[in-house]
Chain A
Amino acid sequence: MARLNDNNLRIAAELIGRYPRPKSALIPLLHLAQEQDGFVSNEAMEHLAELLDLTPAEVMGTCTFYEMFKLEPVGDYRINICHGISCHLMGADDLIHHAEQSLGVRQGTVTGDGISIEGVECIAACTEAPCLQVNYRYMNKVSNQGFDALVNGIRDGSVNVPKHGTLALVRQHIPEDKAAGNAMVESDDPPAWWPKPAVEEGAE
């Protein structure tokens, strides 16, 4: 629950370096903080503000706009059950009801062993309705039995999903010698491949 550790600081520097203006890296950095701690702590937001030369309030302002950032712990396994229109038509309400009954918690509450459920808006798997995500990994055409099997799998460790906060397991890495470099606002040169004007100015 803290500032970014040394390894994440190194990743943060790489992320910030990819944008013409540092503040653009804020959302990726908030994900990094959430990956480290499972949620975004006040200390982490203060640290990001230092890194980006912002106030902590500006960081919090952006952070609180976005659904995925959690300001308090939500357990290691977050199950988001889609209740968008396609999933609604295919029984999402019943699935959410079953999930609440089966786990013994309401939406937004965490079980003693770190599982929480939430009804969420469309997660783009509409032809596979009803669907859900466990820590943003998909499970399609979910039945009540399928949900129970998933929870059992989480509890006995057979479901292989990174803990809440970790998104993609592959990061982009731009090798230094291959980078084209940021398009800085301050430089108003046309791109190198852009055709030069037909008549050379100042030819005399």
Chain B
Amino acid sequence: MPVEKIVTSRFDNLEAHKLETYLETGGYVALRKALDMTPEEVHNEVRGASVLGRGGAGFPAGVKWGFCPPGVWPRYLVVNGDESEPGTYKDRQLLERDPHQIIEGCLLACYAVGLTQCFLYIRGEMAHAQERVAAALNDAYKAGYVGKNILGTDFSVDIVLHWGAGAYIVGEETALIESLEGNRGMPRLKPPFFPAAVGLYGQPTIVNNVETLANLPWIVENGAEAYAAMGAENSKGTRVFAVSGHVNNPGVFEVEFGTTTFRDIIEGSDYAGGVRAGKKLKGFVPGGASAPWFFEEHLDLPLEKVAVDQAGSMLGSGAIVVMDEDTDMVKACHNLVRFFARESCGKCTPCREGTTWLERILSRIIAGEGRPSDLALLLEVSENISPGIAWPPKQTTICPLGPSAVSPIASSIDRFRSEFEDYITLSDRRVIPVGSA
């Protein structure tokens, strides 16, 4: 059933991207309220709300903010709007449909943590989102909501719109910072683990996802208690999920954490409306391309971090991709692995070489050139990227991109081994190259 919307409350209003509409619908009320509070009080509200980061890792935002070393200035805010995880379609909508909500979220974070400049990094391919945010920022500057002496107070911060240029890896927060410094977007060696300690230009830097920031105006306006009353024990509030693939009504849905199950959101008539054309479910990706696959027996799990983690996958970026009974799981696996192979930045050898080989082996299997030893080889290469092929993954790499390519391989070989074997052994699967007859 529909719940109170926190971040998508203006999605039905096609004028919501305009400043006057935003103001008419409660916009910048939270900012005014926050400016009457101390920064620490605002920080405490966000900490108390336990809002989990919405980019994929699910780390509590209020705790992350607290990692800034005291007394070190300046501090920066970098907004991660580089949404590129296959199946993920939420941040672009938030940016296009309600840009002022993101701007207000940025301002609240800056005020609470003492961040004196904000860089809003939007994926390069999202031209329309860039236009909407640029227009919103221009209006907000004119009206005194952003910039010098905001609303007549001594709170001053510039929000700079920054464009990416096409690289999935830049969603990793240290790669995002490298990219923002004008470099190739390659992740930095850890430690330090958090840019809050050493980030942009070596200074304390908070990197937050777009959806995380979109929650802040509601939290500040309504209080941590009201927010924490929604959701589950370890996942407070609501979450935006994009359900795509073989469903009757693909869409973006904001649901309360914990009270909704995968079955509700995939089959419910208010949501995705079930597998298309009365087909049976074969499997689904529960949280973006990096997440191990789920199957029918997982349908009754609640959409909640701990339950999904314990079942061996993750909610990740809020992307649920449904595959019906006719899906070729070898091709689906190849599709996901090809993504990681193409997007590997090339910094770490196991990922650069490993994902490339995984993709090549899967390609030759699909082309009918597979060898009986290829399944063992796929797992061996996977083992070199992610020792033990376990969940949560171990990694021989700086960032989780390489191990992410292992998820679809482990899931599909484990569950659909015979489909791979058919490709390798059955002659009718073979594609005869043109001209070879």
Nearest B-chain residue to A185, judged by Cβ: B201
* A120 to B152 alpha-carbon distance, docked (Å): 47
Chain B residues with CB below 8 A from A128, complex form: 250
Tier of interface size on chain B: 35 or more
One of B122-130, B390-398, B422-430 at the interface: B122-130
Contact, CB under 8 Å: B335 / A122:
no
Interface status of B419 (Cβ within 8 A of chain A): no
Q: CB < 8 Å: which of A85, A123, A167 contacts B332?
A: A85
Chain B residues with CB below 8 A from A167, complex form: 124, 127, 130, 163
* A183 to B75 alpha-carbon distance, docked (Å): 8
Binding site for B on A (CB under 8 A): 18-21, 23-28, 30-31, 52, 61-62, 65-69, 80, 83-86, 88-90, 121-129, 133, 135-138, 167-175, 177-185, 187-195
* A52 to B166 alpha-carbon distance, docked (Å): 22
Task: State whether A90 and B245 are in contact (beta carbons under 8 Å apart), knowing that A169-B131, A180-B157, A183-B76 are contacts in the complex.
Answer: yes
Interface status of B84 (Cβ within 8 A of chain A): yes
Contact, CB under 8 Å: B134 / A127:
no
Contact, CB under 8 Å: B182 / A25:
yes
Contact, CB under 8 Å: A27 / B179:
yes
Contact, CB under 8 Å: B158 / A174:
yes
Contact, CB under 8 Å: B141 / A175:
yes
* A24 to B250 alpha-carbon distance, docked (Å): 38
Q: CB < 8 Å: which of A21, A25, A27, A180 contacts B156?
A: A180
Q: CB < 8 Å: which of B87, B134, B163, B201 contacts A122?
A: B87
Q: CB < 8 Å: which of B124, B130, B158, B331 contacts A181?
A: B158
Contact, CB under 8 Å: A126 / B157:
no
Mark each residue of chain B from 272 to 302: 1 if its CB lies under 8 Å from any CB of chain A, else 0.
0000000000000100010000000000000
Interface of B is mostly: mixed
* A124 to B40 alpha-carbon distance, docked (Å): 36
Contact, CB under 8 Å: B154 / A85:
no
Q: CB < 8 Å: which of B39, B131, B163 contacts A170?
A: B131
Taking CB atoms and an 8 Å cut-off, the chain B residues in 240-260 that contact chain A are: 242-246, 250-252
Interface of A is mostly: loop
8 tightest A-B CB contacts, nearest first: A67-B166, A66-B165, A26-B182, A23-B182, A183-B74, A126-B244, A168-B130, A183-B117
Chain B residues with CB below 8 A from A170, complex form: 130-131, 134-135, 138
Task: State whether A188 and B73 are in contact (beta carbons under 8 Å apart), knowing that A20-B117, A28-B163, A195-B38 are contacts in the complex.
Answer: yes
Question: 12 A-B contacts, Cβ less than 8 Å apart?
Answer: A24-B180, A68-B124, A85-B86, A85-B336, A86-B86, A89-B246, A127-B244, A129-B244, A133-B125, A175-B141, A188-B74, A192-B155
Contact, CB under 8 Å: A121 / B134:
no
Contact, CB under 8 Å: B127 / A191:
no
B182, B201, B203, B289, most chain A CB atoms within 10 A:
B182
For the complex formed, measure the closest distance between the CB of B8 and the CB atoms of chain A, giving whole angstroms: 14
Chain B residues with CB below 8 A from A66, complex form: 124, 164-167, 185
Contact, CB under 8 Å: B184 / A191:
no
Taking CB atoms and an 8 Å cut-off, the chain B residues in 173-202 that contact chain A are: 179-185, 201-202
Binding site for A on B (CB under 8 A): 38-40, 71-76, 83-89, 91-92, 111, 114, 116-117, 123-128, 130-131, 133-135, 137-138, 141-142, 144, 146-148, 153-158, 160-168, 179-185, 201-203, 242-246, 250-252, 285, 289, 319, 321, 323, 327, 331-332, 335-336, 339, 342-343, 345
For the complex formed, measure the closest distance between the CB of A20 and the CB atoms of chain B, giving whole angstroms: 6
Chain A residues with CB below 8 A from B157, complex form: 180
Chain B residues with CB below 8 A from A69, complex form: 165-166
Contact, CB under 8 Å: A126 / B181:
no
Contact, CB under 8 Å: B134 / A65:
no
For the complex formed, measure the closest distance between the CB of A106 and the CB atoms of chain B, giving whole angstroms: 14
Nearest A-chain residue to B167, judged by Cβ: A66
Chain B residues with CB below 8 A from A88, complex form: 331-332, 335
Contact, CB under 8 Å: B160 / A172:
yes
* A85 to B404 alpha-carbon distance, docked (Å): 14
Q: CB < 8 Å: which of A21, A67, A86, A124 contacts B165?
A: A67
* A85 to B184 alpha-carbon distance, docked (Å): 26
Contact, CB under 8 Å: A168 / B165:
no
Contact, CB under 8 Å: A126 / B160:
no
Contact, CB under 8 Å: A23 / B201:
no
Contact, CB under 8 Å: A86 / B87:
yes
* A30 to B162 alpha-carbon distance, docked (Å): 12
* A191 to B201 alpha-carbon distance, docked (Å): 18
